[in-house]
Structure 1
């Protein structure tokens, strides 16, 4: 269990800086281990003994200030996103509490930490929370599944101090890209880290013996700040210690070698760029080669030793992206298919409704037609004309013969217009002759 050193909620900056000199904090750990691009072991040593306070540039001060301002925003965003993920997985939500306090390792008092938050997991218990902000130009450092080395060391240091088994690190990149990482406790790494920090604290800080200088750029700035002016002593000749003779000779030799090496490096880089062409990333054996276009339009060539594990992770991410795109396309297809199915059902219903309406209209028209036909028949009966007398009739010959001997019947028939039977003309001629003789 960690030991509470002090509550820092109402602590002023002077008190806080004084407390920092009493141990190695999470942000110091990576520098002590030689894995921090902003500080080296010598710089941490000079800071702890009060010999050097770096004069940070305005842009670094601004970045640090906005890091503090954005910390609660990153913490809140982490709580929202992680609990959305857990809800989808059917897990209970996490709680994240920010406690402003300084803690120390229960056994190694020089190991200190001031956490950005404590995570409460219903199953795993307590864990470390770290919030970070990063410049857009540093986005490549946050590619993939692993955090940059200096932050990994910081998180492992903090877990070592607190005795926790897991940690979450959330980062806001460029002000608009959010990511978070789950990091498990690595006891083997922590044991190694404790050994490094213990050696640094007990054999250098407490003994006032500085560690060896390195080629760190920040060390060069530190020395320039510590010794800004030269002092010429006339009449004095200063002879450096014997070990400096070897140093000077090595520096002179390195300059010659560096010049040749730089020329060779540039030639090889140019050959590599010509091979890459427009390709942004490629693999060369166990190395990953990137030639990405920066915001300013320039392309930066980077070569990184790439383990098979990292390559497998790259392919996994690539496959994951492909699967994600397939999932998105499938979802869009399903949405379109649902809309089309819905439209087809609507069209089918409209067609059936139209058929029913047409059938109903047809039946109504047929009914109306029958009614009209019935009315027409009834009207025709009312206006029916008498039967027309046929122009001729067929009678039996015996009846016709009887008419020949009956003048009255013949006269009646003639008067009625009956004039087409055989012998009629002869009968008429005989009757006319008889009339003339009388």
Structure 2
């Protein structure tokens, strides 16, 4: 059985976010496993160790909350099952760092419901009963915390469709997930050890955000990176060859098209048209009107990484 960490009735959004920092929730599970295209283990790590409560609330998040009740009603209509709000943040009895803030529980059954909304551009991710991997991880996480028999996930694809899928309990997946999340909590969050980067742009932004200003001008002895840096050089050469190959393909097409603007076949439509672009002559502006240049100049401060062979 699970335990109730806190009742959410009357809890402000800021207070709810504070409680989320006490453990790992369902939306963290996919990121920790490397399955979430919009988050990463590093972003979860910095969120959990920071004292600051960041109130991120965009239009998509607002619509998701507002439409949660509608998705639940559509699920009831489609299945004939009854659901209820849980109104609590739950915690795993054995692993108190595993938390669950579930959308709905089925009446009379130990089964939950996760409500989602998706844009029409994401419809393909839900075809033929498929569920995006990070949402699957979320549902298995809830099954782990709630010791549930199964979990439903329902989605309204805005303006297009409604779907629902029943995810059966899988002990092997749940045990592996608990192991991964517990390892992350104990060895990264509790020990303040930053997770390995994954090469994503989001991790780039996080590193620049937290280490954007150097506080030491001491030179470090570079250790343990020779093989990785050699591989980086090989990748740069490989990327350069690929870019050249790509340009050659484009050059061949341009020679084929000559003075024509459009070329079409059953698979592709290519256009090669004149485009007029207006570009500010900043050098001339700086010379002739330095006052205006100075007034509208924006100074950016960032750390630039340069790697040179010794």
Decide: shared fold, TM above 0.5.
yes
Unaligned runs of 5+ in 1: 84-93, 269-275, 280-438
Name the stretch that deviates more: 140-149 or 219-228: 219-228
Structure 2 residue matching 1:130: 3-state secondary structure: strand
Measure how far apart 1:107 and its partner are.
0.9
Higher helix share: 1
Name the stretch that deviates more: 6-15 or 147-156: 6-15
State the Cα deviation string for residues 250-295 of structure 1 (Å, max 9, x = none).
3333222233346668999xxxxxxx9459xxxxxxxxxxxxxxxx
The one of 220, 231, 234 equivalent to 1:253 is: 234
Measure how far apart 1:13 and its partner are.
2.4
Work out the CA distance in 2 between the residues paired with 1:184 and 1:262. Answer: 46
Q: CA RMSD in A?
A: 3.0
Work out the CA distance in 2 between the residues paired with 1:112 and 1:150. Answer: 16
Measure how far apart 1:77 and its partner are.
1.1
Measure how far apart 1:31 and its partner are.
0.7
Work out the CA distance in 2 between the residues paired with 1:220 and 1:195. Answer: 27
**Compared CA separation, residues 171 and 265, structure 1 to 2 (3 A):** farther
Measure how far apart 1:202 and its partner are.
1.0
Measure how far apart 1:69 and its partner are.
0.6
Structure 2 residue matching 1:144: 3-state secondary structure: helix
Equivalent residues of 1:79, 1:96 under 8 A apart: yes
Work out the CA distance in 2 between the residues paired with 1:167 and 1:210. Answer: 32
State the partner residue of 1:197. Answer: 181
State the partner residue of 1:401. Answer: none
State the partner residue of 2:271. Answer: none
TM-score of the pair, normalised by structure 1: 0.53
Equivalent residues of 2:125, 2:132 under 8 A apart: yes
Equivalent residues of 1:31, 1:41 under 8 A apart: yes
The one of the two structures with greater contact order (alpha-carbon pairs below 8 A, sep at least 6) is 2
Work out the CA distance in 1 between the residues paired with 2:33 and 2:6. Answer: 26
Structure 2 residue matching 1:132: 3-state secondary structure: strand
Work out the CA distance in 1 between the residues paired with 2:214 and 2:247. Answer: 36
Measure how far apart 1:16 and its partner are.
1.3
State the partner residue of 1:67. Answer: 64
The one of 65, 77, 85 equivalent to 2:74 is: 77
Measure how far apart 1:113 and its partner are.
0.4
State the partner residue of 1:3. Answer: 3
Work out the CA distance in 1 between the residues paired with 2:36 and 2:247. Answer: 27
> Which of the pair has more CA radius of gyration?
1
Measure how far apart 1:220 and its partner are.
1.5
**Compared CA separation, residues 14 and 54, structure 1 to 2 (3 A):** closer
Equivalent residues of 1:133, 1:172 under 8 A apart: yes
Work out the CA distance in 1 between the residues paired with 2:226 and 2:52. Answer: 28
The one of 172, 175, 179 equivalent to 2:163 is: 179
Work out the CA distance in 2 between the residues paired with 1:221 and 1:55. Answer: 18
State the partner residue of 2:261. Answer: none
**Compared CA separation, residues 266 and 144, structure 1 to 2 (3 A):** farther
Name the stretch that deviates more: 246-255 or 176-185: 246-255
Residue 211 in 1 paired to residue 208 in 2? no
Equivalent residues of 1:43, 1:52 under 8 A apart: no
Work out the CA distance in 2 between the residues paired with 1:74 and 1:262. Answer: 46
Unaligned runs of 5+ in 2: 250-264, 269-310
Equivalent residues of 1:46, 1:52 under 8 A apart: no
Work out the CA distance in 2 between the residues paired with 1:175 and 1:152. Answer: 24
Structure 2 residue matching 1:139: 3-state secondary structure: helix
Equivalent residues of 1:37, 1:216 under 8 A apart: no
Equivalent residues of 1:130, 1:168 under 8 A apart: yes
Equivalent residues of 2:153, 2:166 under 8 A apart: yes
TM-score of the pair, normalised by structure 2: 0.74
State the Cα deviation string for residues 98-139 of structure 1 (Å, max 9, x = none).
122100111111111000000135xxx220100001122111
Equivalent residues of 1:204, 1:210 under 8 A apart: yes
Work out the CA distance in 2 between the residues paired with 1:267 and 1:108. Answer: 57
Equivalent residues of 1:4, 1:103 under 8 A apart: yes
Residue 143 in 1 paired to residue 127 in 2? yes
**Compared CA separation, residues 155 and 108, structure 1 to 2 (3 A):** same
Residue 108 in 1 paired to residue 108 in 2? no
**Compared CA separation, residues 137 and 263, structure 1 to 2 (3 A):** farther
Equivalent residues of 2:14, 2:53 under 8 A apart: no
Work out the CA distance in 1 between the residues paired with 2:168 and 2:64. Answer: 25
